[in-house]
Structure 1
Amino acid sequence: MTNSTQVSYFILAAYFDSGLLKYLFFMIVVLLYILIVCTNLLLIVVICVNRSLHEPMYLFLCSLFVNELYGSSGLFPFLLLQILSDIHTVSASFCFLQIFCLYSYACVEFFNLAVMSYDRYLAICYPLQYNTRITYNKITILIVAEWFYASVLCFLPISLSVPLQLCGNIINKVYCDNYTIVKLACSDTTVNNIYGLVVTFLTISCPVILIFYTYVRILQVCFSGSKQTRQKAVSTCTPHLVSLLNFSFGAFFEIMQSRFNMKNVPNMLRIFLSLYWLTCQPLLNPLVYGLNMSNIRNICKNLIFA
């Protein structure tokens, strides 16, 4: 496609002919998806059913697990169809729908981790005032706000990309990506690029500032507090830090890959790392939080082995 036109479909060029190995890839992806759905769904049910877990920390965790299911559902069924298919095309409307799903998943993930750091900050720095500072109304507002803000933030750049006249329809990835589509445009994309940078900046800077502030205050309390305070801080903040660093690594590489030329990186490695931030986080979070928190761990044991 060399002329400017409104394309009706896109070709996902990152897929390659793997012969009979595609059935092995299919089974691996199916198992990963089943594991993600079962573990996250189990923890959502455990938190919702048990009133003893209706505390701020667990409610924010529940929102995190719901987001893992949301993001995984935007990727895995599509990935499974593409692995078995010989023609790797996707309609333009579905492509933009997938972009919205994956981008809003990433935004909610980052915002949710920032809100969780704020919750840990209140629990450690203001233990006696914790229940008055973080009420159920405030929890509801924070969760609704992070989902609404992420949806609006992701909808606007996609709405700017939909009317673009494109000179091509080949996306060199295994799923749809907004910035890759913008680079296919024949028309001026200054507004798209500026807004894309603004969205990326807001998505990263706001949570990072909040997380940095909360951890600085937590460290101050730890250094000046008792051994018990330090142990509490370590036990409650370690899972959060592991989850945050894991997601930040995957998201950082994805941004670098979208914005810069990564042709020197082997194709298989690029595919793996582009999927890492969408697959490892939904797998890691249930294990990190489910295994680390004794309340959740004990209730899960009772449910499974009852």
Structure 2
Amino acid sequence: MIYVNLTLVFTAYASPGPLSYGVFFVTVLTYLATVFVNVILMLIIYSDTSLHKPMYIFLFNLSISGLIGSSTVLPNIMNYLLDEMKHILYSNCLLQVFFVMFYGGCVYGIITVMAYDRYVSICKPLQYHIIMTPTKVRMLLAVVYIFSICFLAVQVHLTSSVPLCRYTVNKLYCDNLAVVSLACLKSALVDLYGLVGVIIFVVCPLSLVIMSYVRILFVSLKASANAKRKALKTCAPHLITFINFSSASLFSVIYNRLNNYLPKELNVFMSVHFILIPPLLHPLIYGMRTETIRKSFRNILQKRVFAFEFHLKPEHKIV
């Protein structure tokens, strides 16, 4: 049962002051940079037909997930940093819970299918175009999105059905564990469903990614030095992204377990690291480490600049 008019209060924020204004400024810059780099990457992939391949299509969707995560949390944080009232409607809190989990689930899902794409590319190069067809790419993405929506909708419904006895959230935003901790009694069903969710959205993707790279490693060891360099160059951005997001997830888990024993400043950073850092770094990692994207960006930039300069040149009349 959702309490329509119930309001929760965030207690992790300080009153507006110099520190809040400084954090607000950093958050604004980070959010704008996140939106900028993700939109630029998406425009590059969309406008360059040579990038309409499975790996870049997955990367395009990874940027979408990053924008969802950032836009779900950071604008609200910026608002609360400047506002005396740190209230949120319970229904809006649950909505935030859903989108935060959706962001995390989709990122792990997309990283997993990207690992599968790299595995097929390196371990079965002659069959790559037969296996990774446009239909299969769409199917993999549909599974990630549709399954995440259905599973997490049930999760939020179960969370909303638990009666609350406390109404203060000691975090900067709503997540499922924070809301469940407000319940009068623990629900075995909610805990079990949450555990299944962790296995599906975290443990299974981690296992599949590790298995893919183990197979890639075995194949690469038998290949020539040039093939090894090519495999490393191809996999490096994805591997860095995988480690980055897994580290952020680990920080989030540690925060959820130890937030009462950590300094306040460290609490604040660890609580938002999961949302703040990966969406900003993922497009930068691929932009810097992937030669094809860098080349496409330079070509697009040169075309735009050349066209701009061409239009600025004065027309010479023939006398």
Indicate the TM-score class for this superposition, using the shorter chain for normalisation: over 0.9
**Contact 1:124 / 1:229 at 8 angstroms: preserved in 2?**
no
Moved more, 164-173 or 260-269: 260-269
1:32 is the counterpart of 2:30: yes
Q: Could you say what secondary structure the match of 1:10 adopts?
A: strand
Of residues 281, 293, 297 in structure 1, which corresponds to 2:294? Answer: 297
Distance 2:16 2:247 in 1: 28
Q: Kindly state the Cα deviation for residue 261 of structure 1 after the two structures are TM-superposed.
A: 4.2
SS of alignment partner, residue 262 of structure 1? helix
Residue 24 of structure 1: how far off its partner (Å): 2.4
What code does the residue aligned with 2:84 have? D
Kept in 1: contact 2:16–2:84 (CA 8 A): no
Q: Which residue, out of 273, 277, 299, partners 1:276?
A: 273
Report the equivalent of 1:230.
228
Instruction: Indicate the RMSD between aligned Cα atoms, in angstroms.
Output: 1.5
Q: CA deviation at 1:142?
A: 0.5
| 1:253 shift after superposition | 2.3
Residue 188 and residue 26 in structure 1: after superposition, are their counterparts in 2 closer, same or farther (change >3 A)? closer
What is the deviation of 1:192? Answer: 0.9
Which has the higher mean CA deviation after the structures are superposed, 272-281 or 12-21? 12-21
Q: Contact conserved, 1:250 with 1:274, CA < 8 A, in 2?
A: no
Letter in 2 for 1:57: M
Aligned pair partner of 1:82 in 70, 80, 89: 80
Question: Following the alignment from structure 1 to structure 2, what is the Cα–Cα distance between the partners of residues 221 and 75?
Answer: 42
The 1-side partners of 2:168 and 2:259 are apart by 17
Deviations 1:147-184 (A, max 9, x none): 11111222112101112211110110000021122121
Task: Give 3-state SS (helix, strand or coil) of 2:135's partner.
Answer: helix
CA separation in 2, counterparts of 1:224 and 1:201?
33
1:1-306 to structure 2, matched below 5 A, reads 6=3, 8-17=6-15, 19-258=17-256, 260-305=257-302, 306=305
Aligned residues of 2:45 and 2:60 also touching (Cα < 8 A): yes
Alignment partner of 1:90: what SS? strand
CA distance in 2, matches of 1:59, 1:157: 29
Question: Which amino acid in structure 1 is aligned with residue 205 of structure 2?
Answer: P
Q: Encode CA deviations 1:78-127: one digit per residue, 9 max, x unaligned.
A: 11111111111111111011110111100000111111010000110111
After the TM superposition, which of the residue ranges 180-189 and 38-47 deviates more from structure 2? Answer: 180-189
- Taking the aligned partners of 1:173 and 1:188, their CA distance within structure 2 comes to 20
Deviation of residue 30 (structure 1)? 1.2
The DSSP-based 3-state class of the residue aligned with 2:125 is coil
Indicate the larger mover: 130-139 or 187-196: 187-196
- Equivalent pairs counted in the alignment come to 301
The 1:256–1:152 alpha-carbon spacing in structure 2 relative to 1, beyond 3 Å, is farther
Any idea what SS the aligned residue of 2:260 has?
A: coil
Decide whether the 8 Å contact of 2:16 with 2:81 is kept in 1. no
Residue type of the alignment partner of 1:288 = I
Distance 2:175 2:184 in 1: 17
Q: Distance in 2 between matches of 1:304 and 1:279?
A: 28
Under a length normalisation based on structure 2, what TM-score does the superposition of the two structures give?
A: 0.91
- In structure 2, distance between residues paired with 1:62 and 1:262: 34
Contact 2:14 2:20 in 1 (8 A): no
SS of the residue 1:173 aligns to = coil
